Chains A and B, each alone.
Chain A
Amino acid sequence: MTRQVAQKLGQALLVLLAAFTVAFVLLQALPGDAVLIKFLGSEMGLTAEQIAELRIAYGADAPVWEQYLHTLGNFLRGDFGYSIRSGVPVAQLLAENLPSTLWLALLALTAACLLALVLALLSQLEGFGWVRGLARSMPSLFVAVPVFWLGIMLIQVFSFQLGLVSVIAPEPWEELVLPVATLAVPISAPMAQVLIRNIDAVFGEPFVAVARAKGARHQWVLWRHVFRNALPATLTMAGVLFGELLGGAVVTETVFGLGGLGGMTQQAVANQDVAVLQAIVVLSAFAFVAISLLIDLLMPLLDPRLALRPAGAS
């Protein structure tokens, strides 16, 4: 067991180093660099000599390998450097943006799970054929709704027309209501789809027929047997979606004026703010590695069969 964990940790470190290196190389390959963009692109009206001087001061023209080692060394010491665009330490940017992103992602994922669960249950409702049909067509609709449009509509109706929540200077409790709703709808769709399909599939398995033959009622079979077996794939899905939510909520963050990793990443990409991007890439890699590790550990609890096999085999 200890050896397995050590192996996994070693893999994780390799993934992190690879992510760091690939990001560094790709960023170097782009045209222009942060110093040029900040001092020329932002139209400060500097002369050629002044820009050349600043480039020297930033070490922007040093050999690539030297810059790489320098940055890597700083990272290992926990120094993420400064954002040239924003003029603040990268650590400070992360500290101010990460919590709101985490909260938003966590709440949106929870809401999406509940929504997916409700849809999946409705899709198995006895009688009411039209409700089942409706529940099964909802995920396609949810996926098709553009997040941008949904966010604006929710704001227009609930904030500007009805005045129920404030978007501009919200109280802490109301701040995340609409953004969570906006994100939960599209996120719930793939989960609901997977869950419904798996429930259907499990219902077709022989052990269900056996249970039914023993006289078990539909509800009992659904909760006791089918659900437990349909859940693991959905959990994996939720893990991946959570990772995507951490950096992929740009549209929602922009529409609602929330700070967050998504907008921070977008700005850093646009401005080739290398220090920020390096930190984000390493952080994202770390998040994905940690989440998949967590899912791996959780799986055996849901599906005892997995506990018997060595991790990684399927």
Chain B
Amino acid sequence: MSLSRRSLFAAPALLPALAASRGASAQAAPQRGGTLIYLEQQTYTNLYPPAAGHYPAGGVINQITDKLTYQNPQTLEIEPWIAESWTINADATEYVFRLRRGVTFSDGTALDAAAVAKNYDTYGRGNRELRHAVSEVITNYERSEVIDPLTVRFVFRAPSPGFLQGTSVIGSGLVSPATLALPFDQMGDATKIIGSGPFVVARQVLGRELVLNARRDYAWGPAKHPHQGRALLDSIRIIVNGEDSVRVGALLSNQAQIARQIPAFDENRIQGRGFQLFAPPTRGVNNSITFRPDNPMVADIRVRRALLHGTNAQEVVDTLFSPNYPRATSVIASTAQGYVDLSDRLTFDAALAARLLDEAGWARGANGQRAKDGQELALAAYESPNYARSKDTMQLVAQQWARLGVKLSVMAGDLGSRTVDSLDPLKTPLSPAMVGRADPDVIRSNFYPTTRNMLLQTGGVSRRVQSFSDPALNAQLDAIASEPDQAKRLLLVGEVQRHLIDQAYVIPLFEEPQVFAASPRLRGMGFEAVGRPFFYAAWLAAR
């Protein structure tokens, strides 16, 4: 498009027309074809779907597998996908799914009731021989029944109201029975992961690149999705580059069309150059600091409350992040189901914090450090490399606490030490936490002793916990897992949030999004409810 200067001046009437035509081209009919280059920060590792939650793996599984149901990322409603319809009994112990006809895996096998049953038997019960672990999102699973080739029933030992949403997540991606016959140790090879999704794995260079090609005969997209039929792109090249500045620079110099994990301080530059920024929310437990009250230093609620009010989350967001990272107003994100606004209980109040610490007997010494009975109030936590700027965040919090006279050491350490020490409340009195999942169950799985056990209660994996347990909290969490009535469930989720904040078990910091930057040519980009990319309807406009 080149307009000479004269024609611009001579025909002012042209300008609105020009603007209109540009507006129209933005909504022009999607174009099929082309190759998209997607820059990942890390390589995927294992692609066994229940183990593929981490973004690099989720970004692959979400293109090559379909799920029984589709969670609409805007409304969070569960919509039909491979299941055309379903019925759930009153106490949520039996689910019957009616499947879509004519769906096949890319190896040619039918995606029928038997295949679905095989998938869920594996995800629900695990397979010891092949080392397949149980999926976190499926609880109380007992068995499947194939009623006819297109109808399958799942039976649960106890109510499992989270199961319907559980059928829509990455971890429930449906794979061919041939894939499920592989041992866990071979599922890091993407070429062996056979799904029924809009893309299939064409080529892989381990640790460097994965090429996905559109499946020409794909005709079973989510029923209510605006796009239907095969994917618009011909192929996607997922290329790994761990260096932030290289990913951003490559995108801006048009060597790629979309990149994941964009540093907050690059956001302005990217938008200033006319590139797009996507920041889909992760809708789960906010980026937070959780206490391990089994540690005597933080067993006293006054100490925990002091640190809660002595933490300036707004400063964390303003200093390290961007408006795409909203300050947390509860334990779970404001976009999560069952969220209640608790911002009035999460105020930054240094004077209150100091008073609480004085009351608890931690007096300031000559060096400004608080101590009691000769012991300094010194805490330690590991940074978590998987969360956005975890080290910087923890160090800023450490500075804020230093003003209160409390010492916080932020440890890096190798993964082995971190894994082992994180099970020991004496070594890690607090820990960063964050998890994405768009179901009320997320709060339960994060805090329940036998699952993620973020507070380190007794009854979990750790053998180092002496006595800490909060039966009231666990009773509420149990109720969330088994309450079939959605409205009641959401009320329970609210109660748990209040309990966690009133007990000052958690210091919520910010709502963590997944930030992607993309070329202005990229259109129709989608993200599932927790922010993994969905390239089904994506297309590239002409330059």
Contact = CB atoms under 8 A, between A and B. Distances in A.
A85 B184 CA distance: 10
A35 B189 CA distance: 19
B51 A44 contact: yes
A168 B36 CA distance: 12
B445 A37 contact: no
A151 B349 CA distance: 46
Contacts of B435: 43
B246 A155 contact: yes
A244 B126 CA distance: 43
A193 B459 CA distance: 63
Interface in B459-490: 459-461
Contacts of B420: 31-32, 36
Contacts of A54: 131, 133
Contacts of B46: 38, 85-87
B452 A43 contact: yes
Given A86-B45, A97-B206, A272 B133 contact: no
A32 B416 contact: yes
B207 interface: yes
Given A57-B131, A96-B205, A40 B461 contact: yes
B45 A87 contact: yes
Contacts of A48: 450, 459-461
B500 interface: no
Contact of A45 (B128, B421, B423, B451): B451
B331 interface: no
Contacts of A92: 189, 206
Interface stretch (B101-109, B143-151, B235-243): B235-243
B185 interface: yes
DSSP majority for the B interface? loop
Contact of A155 (B39, B249, B452): B249
A39 B418 CA distance: 14
A168 B37 contact: yes
A297 B535 CA distance: 57
B394 to A, nearest CB: 18
B255 A167 contact: yes
A32 B245 CA distance: 33
Contacts of A168: 37, 39, 239, 241, 250, 255-256
B484 to A, nearest CB: 22
Contacts of B48: 87
B243 A255 contact: yes
A87 B416 contact: no
A271 B207 contact: no
Given A257-B240, A272-B415, A272-B416, A87 B186 contact: yes
Interface residues of A, number: 58
B416 A152 contact: no
A256 to B, nearest CB: 8
B403 interface: no
Nearest to B47: A87
Nearest to B251: A168
Contacts of B256: 168-169
A96 B416 contact: no
A160 B252 contact: yes
B134 A160 contact: no
Interface in A20-47: 30-33, 36-47
B253 interface: yes
A40 B39 contact: no
Given A57-B128, A97-B206, A152-B245, A85 B460 contact: no
A227 interface: no
Given A31-B416, A92-B206, A46 B131 contact: no
Contacts of A31: 416-417, 420-421
Interface in B115-144: 126, 128-129, 131, 133-134, 136
A45 B171 CA distance: 12
Contact of B414 (A159, A255, A269): A269
A5 interface: no
Interface string A237-273: 0000000000000000011111100011000011110
A7 interface: no
A73 interface: no
Contact of A96 (B136, B206, B252): B206
Interface in A34-78: 36-48, 50-51, 53-54, 57-58
Interface residues of B, number: 58
A39 B135 CA distance: 12
Contacts of B460: 48
B53 interface: yes
A155 B416 CA distance: 34
Contact of A257 (B129, B242, B414, B421): B242
B133 A46 contact: yes
B208 interface: yes
Interface string A121-142: 0000000000000000000000
A259 B206 contact: yes
Contact of B208 (A32, A40, A84, A259): A259
Given A47-B451, A48-B461, A169-B239, A41 B415 contact: yes
Nearest to A264: B207
Contacts of A36: 416, 419-420
B51 to A, nearest CB: 6
A168 B40 CA distance: 11
A146 interface: no
Interface of A: 30-33, 36-48, 50-51, 53-54, 57-58, 82-89, 92-93, 96-97, 152, 155-156, 159-161, 163, 166-169, 254-259, 263-264, 269-272
26 contacts: A36-B416, A40-B419, A44-B53, A44-B133, A46-B136, A47-B134, A48-B450, A50-B126, A50-B134, A54-B131, A58-B131, A82-B185, A87-B47, A88-B186, A89-B185, A92-B189, A96-B206, A159-B253, A159-B255, A163-B253, A168-B37, A168-B39, A169-B255, A254-B242, A259-B206, A272-B415
Given A50-B133, A152-B246, A254-B242, 14 more contacts: A32-B420, A37-B415, A38-B46, A44-B133, A45-B136, A53-B126, A83-B185, A87-B184, A88-B186, A89-B185, A155-B246, A155-B249, A257-B240, A272-B415
Interface of B: 37, 39, 45-48, 50-51, 53-54, 126, 128-129, 131, 133-134, 136, 184-189, 205-208, 237, 239-243, 245-246, 249-250, 252-253, 255-256, 414-421, 423, 435, 445, 450-452, 459-461
